[in-house]
Structure 1
Amino acid sequence: MTCAWRWAAGLAAGLALYIGLPYLLVQRGGLGVIQRGDPRGRQVALTFDDGPDPESTPAVLDALRAAGVRASFFILPQRARRHPLLLQRLLDEGHEVLPHAHRHQHAWTLLPWAAFRDPLLATRDVSRLTGTGVRFQRPPHGAYTLATLLGQRAAGVTGVHWTVEARDWAADATPESVRAEVRRQVQPGGVIVLHDAGPGARTTPAALPAILRDLHDRDFEVVQLRDLRGARPGTLRDVWANLRGR
Structure 2
Amino acid sequence: MSSAALAAGAAVAAWHVGPAATWLPGVRAVLSPALDGRGAPGHVALTFDDGPDARSTPLFLRELERLRVRATFFVLGAFVEAHSGLVGRMAAEGHEIAVHGWGHERPWLPRPFADRAGLERAVAAVRAAGGGSPRWYRPPYGILTATRRRAARQLGLRPVLWTTWGRDWTAPADPGSVLGELAHRLTGGATVLLHDSDRTSAPGAWRVTLAALPELVSRCRAQGWTVGTLAEHGLAGESAPEPRAG
TM over 0.5: yes
Q: Say whether the 8 Å CA contact 1:123–1:137 is kept in structure 2.
A: no
1:104 alignment counterpart: 104
Q: Cα offset for 1:171? A: 2.6
Alignment of 1:192-207 (within 5 A): 192-198=192-198, 199=201, 200-207=205-212
1:237 alignment counterpart: none
**1:172 paired to 2:169:** no
2:11 alignment counterpart: 13
1:232 & 1:195 partners in 2: Cα distance?
27
1:182 alignment counterpart: 182
Gapped runs of 5+ residues in structure 1? 234-246
Q: Say whether the 8 Å CA contact 2:100–2:137 is kept in structure 1.
A: yes
Deviations 1:166-212 (A, max 9, x none): 11112322221111112232011110010001224242112112211
Gapped runs of 5+ residues in structure 2? 239-246
Letter in 2 for 1:44: V
Q: Say whether the 8 Å CA contact 2:76–2:100 is kept in structure 1.
A: yes
Q: TM-score, normalised by structure 2?
A: 0.84
2:243 alignment counterpart: none
Q: Cα offset for 1:97? A: 1.0
User: Sequence identity of aligned pairs in percent?
Assistant: 34
Letter in 2 for 1:206: A
1:36 alignment counterpart: 38
Q: Say whether the 8 Å CA contact 2:80–2:125 is kept in structure 1.
A: no
Q: Helix, strand or coil: the match of 2:58? A: helix
Q: What RMSD in Å do the two structures reach over aligned CA positions?
A: 2.2
Letter in 1 for 2:80: A
Q: Say whether the 8 Å CA contact 2:54–2:83 is kept in structure 1.
A: yes
Which is further off, 119-128 or 164-173?
119-128
**Count of matched residue pairs:** 228
Q: Say whether the 8 Å CA contact 2:97–2:132 is kept in structure 1.
A: no
Over 3 Å counting, the alpha-carbon distance change for 1:167 and 1:212 in structure 2 is same
1:241 alignment counterpart: none
Letter in 1 for 2:38: R
As a proportion of its length, which structure holds more helix? 1
1:242 alignment counterpart: none
Q: Cα offset for 1:78? A: 2.5
Q: TM-score, normalised by structure 1?
A: 0.84
Q: Helix, strand or coil: the match of 2:126? A: helix
1:23 alignment counterpart: 20
2:158 alignment counterpart: 158
Q: Helix, strand or coil: the match of 1:170? A: coil
